[in-house]
Amino acid sequence: MRIDYDRVSGALYIKIREGEYDHTEDFSEKADVYLDVDAEGNVLGLEALSFEDLAQAVEERGGKLEVPEGLGVVAEEVDSFPNLTPREREVLQLLVEGKTNREIAERLSISQGTVRLHLDHVMKTLGVRSRDEARSRLAARWSE
């Protein structure tokens, strides 16, 4: 399973398995949550316009899903580094979300070499030596 979060729209994309989408079904009566289904009726993915919508859809079916306390804070923290260019902040945001260099390159339509250059500058600016240290530094700021 792979989960992507679009910080601009707030949408969550959850890919459950590989396959060709045949159609999309409305998953929730009250919330904006949709299932992508193949021709045999297997669920391949899910899209929710917000984590709150996903939690509401789960609760409609008798389940419970709590909204994480820090959701949405990542983008605010990343934007708080004025010495980074907008593109470097985008790269940092995707890094914090756990994306690989390849995934970052694909998402931003840039080469992996360009991603490495941006990450080099980001890490120098943050005063860290690794991707994990960059993530940890932001996590420490969130807990303050």
Nearest to 28 by CA among 4, 54, 10: 54
Are 20 and 80 found together in one domain?
A: no
Are 100 and 43 found together in one domain?
A: no
The domain of 108 spans 73-143
Segment 3-41, tens digit of pLDDT: 776 666 667 788 888 888 888 888 888 878 888 888 998
Segment 94-113, tens digit of pLDDT: 887 778 899 999 988 999 99
As for how many domains the chain has, the answer is 2
Are 55 and 77 found together in one domain?
A: no
**How big is the chain, counted in residues?**
144
Q: Is residue 66 assigned to a domain?
A: no
Segment 51-105, tens digit of pLDDT: 777 878 888 888 887 655 444 444 555 556 778 888 888 888 888 777 889 999 9
37, 60, 83 — which closes off a domain?
60
Are 56 and 87 found together in one domain?
A: no
Are 53 and 81 found together in one domain?
A: no
Q: Is residue 65 assigned to a domain?
A: no
Are 27 and 84 found together in one domain?
A: no
Three-state DSSP state, 120: helix
Cα separation of 43 and 46, whole Å?
A: 8
